[in-house]
Amino acid sequence: MLNIAVLVSGGGTNLQALLDAQARGEIPGGRITLVVASRPDAFALTRAEKVGVPTAVLRRKSFESQAQYDEALLSILRENEIGLVVLAGFMTIISPTVIHAYENRILNIHPSLIPSFCGEGFYGLHVHEAALARGVKVTGATVHFVNEICDGGPIVLQKAVEIQPGDTPEVLQRRVMEQAEWKLLPKAVALFCAGRLQVKDGRVEILPAPDQKEEP
């Protein structure tokens, strides 16, 4: 059983999707054993505490340097024997030090079809505002591994969501969550915990399940 840490900053809707999937038995190879928040007032902490998941708060501004923050984060991950880190709306920068320590073991969910509307400055409602301003007909969400490039890591899963006439950024954000994010993230976590994600040459291959034969 793989120990999973979920890193959060706000309401924790993607954390809730993971907790619900776990409760339904959809992540058989892993369990959420730690939630780390960047803010003490993050409602995600309440979601975790409600189901008995241990929590911690690490505020970047409480540390004099990035190196000290990195060491604190790595220490808590190691103490809890974490095998997978999931970024679920985490707004603090993950440095190369942490990324290298957990290479291809950090998953992030982004509310667009990467490479569209991603990278520096594209987070939260800004992503959906940009999609509507550009006039695209389809958006969606992407789960990817984290590397040193913002939203540039190997893509694991994507799901498209249609944009409807009259959409506001808030309405579109909710639809992308419901139709894509809350489905993709638990699925990606389950695949990782089952040992079915393999990164090769910057691309992710999803391996067949042990009881599933490969297509000829």
Based on the residue annotation, tell me whether 110 is a catalytic residue of this protein. Answer: yes
Q: What are phi and psi of 73, to 5 degrees?
A: -65, -45
Catalytic residue among 110, 126, 128, 144: 110
What's the first-to-final CA gap in the chain, in angstroms? 32
The residue count for the chain: 216
The per-residue DSSP string of 75-135 comes to HHHHHTT-SEEEESS--SPPPHHHHHHTTT-EEEEESS-TTTT-STT--THHHHHHHHHHT
Q: Is residue 141 within a helix (H) or strand (E), and if so which, with residue range?
A: strand 138-145
Q: Is residue 8 within a helix (H) or strand (E), and if so which, with residue range?
A: strand 2-8
Q: So which residues are the catalytic ones?
A: 110
